[in-house]
């Protein structure tokens, strides 16, 4: 009897906090792991046993090349985690102060280019066995629901990411393709986690991969990984 191949996790936006924690969690869960960032310490990444895939998240061609490489070297990813953003702040009194190019970079890196990542993730899901879990997770924040002029570019990006995920979650649930906009808050106040709690993100992302149904596309959680109802401003009972 042949041994089933390990599932593949692809983390786009492999940084020292959430990215590293998520990669380690999926590796410990038996995944083959590929990680992407503009700058990678190739030796450190390879010591962890990951496939290192340099990427420019502003470039659709770079994103396509990265997915192609992961598919060829590891196989289609069952878990795709988009964990990137770009932020060039402005004064609240002048939200249009940044150049268009700076604004555009913040918007596309923070979420607009997630459209192509979600599209490529879906193409990979179509190649996996019907019984295999298939999940796309975008690291979000509270910006789709608040007005912060100082963060206009990243705000546009995260709102786009939320819209892409909401539309995809509803459309592809029948095929078993699941999509989540996941973000951490402080349990006592519902405010943003600054800095984000990396272990909580890793635990929640791994839990999302293993759950059997889509559920809510927005997944809000505390520092301890408890689910939080953002709209109601309280913990989800019994979660």
176-218 pLDDT, tens digit each: 999 999 999 999 999 999 899 999 999 999 999 999 999 999 9
Query: Of the ranges 2-6, 50-54, 70-74, 161-165, which one carries the lowest mean pLDDT score?
Result: 2-6
In the chain, DSSP assigns E strands to 8-12, 32-37, 51-54, 79-82, 134-139, 177-184, 218-221, 228-229, 234-235
Contact at 8 Å (CB) between 12 and 57? Answer: yes
Q: What's the pLDDT band for 238 if we cut at 50, 70, 90?
A: confident
Question: Which pLDDT score, from 0 to 100, does residue 39 have?
Answer: 87
Q: What's the pLDDT band for 4 if we cut at 50, 70, 90?
A: low
Residue 229 pLDDT greater than 70, yes or no: yes
Rg (CA), the chain: 17
Q: What's the pLDDT band for 239 if we cut at 50, 70, 90?
A: low
Beta bridge partners of 19: none
**How much is the pTM?**
0.95
Instruction: With residue 208 as reference, give the H or E element that holds it.
Output: helix 198-210
Quick: pLDDT tens for 13-51. Answer: 999 899 999 999 999 999 999 999 988 888 899 999 999
Rounded Cα distance, 82 and 205, in Å: 11
Residue 219 pLDDT greater than 80, yes or no: yes
Residue 2 pLDDT greater than 50, yes or no: no
Residues 6+ apart with CB under 8 A from 38: 54, 55, 56, 57
Question: Which pLDDT score, from 0 to 100, does residue 93 have?
Answer: 96
Q: Are strands 8-12 and 79-82 parallel, antiparallel or unpaired?
A: parallel
Overall average pLDDT of the 109-137 stretch = 97
Quick: pLDDT tens for 62-114. Answer: 999 999 999 999 999 999 999 999 999 999 999 999 999 999 999 999 999 99
183: which 2 tokens?
């973000």
Q: Any idea which residue has 């990137």 for tokens? A: 84
């Amino acid at each position: 009897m042949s041994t089933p191949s390990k599932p593949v996790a692809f983390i786009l936006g492999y940084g020292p906090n959430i990215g590293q924690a998520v990669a380690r969690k999926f590796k410990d869960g038996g995944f083959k792991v590929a990680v992407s960032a503009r700058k990678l310490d190739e030796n450190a990444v390879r010591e962890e046993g990951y496939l290192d895939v340099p990427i420019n998240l502003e470039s659709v061609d770079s994103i396509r090349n990265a997915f192609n490489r992961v598919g060829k070297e590891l196989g289609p990813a069952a878990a795709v985690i988009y964990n990137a953003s770009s932020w060039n702040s402005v004064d609240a009194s002048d939200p249009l102060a940044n150049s268009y190019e700076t604004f555009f970079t913040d918007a596309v890196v923070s979420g607009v280019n997630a459209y192509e990542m979600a599209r490529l993730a879906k193409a990979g899901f179509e190649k996996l066995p019907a019984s295999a879990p298939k999940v796309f997770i975008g690291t979000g924040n509270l910006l789709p629901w608040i007005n912060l002029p100082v963060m206009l570019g990243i705000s546009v990006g995260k709102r786009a990411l939320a819209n892409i995920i909401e539309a995809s979650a509803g459309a592809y649930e029948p095929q078993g393709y699941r999509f989540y906009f996941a973000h951490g808050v402080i349990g006592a106040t519902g405010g943003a986690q600054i800095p984000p709690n990396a272990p909580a993100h890793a635990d929640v992302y791994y839990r999302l991969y293993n759950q059997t149904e889509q559920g809510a596309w927005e997944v809000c959680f505390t520092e301890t990984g408890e689910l939080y109802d953002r709209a109601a401003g309280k913990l989800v009972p019994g979660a």
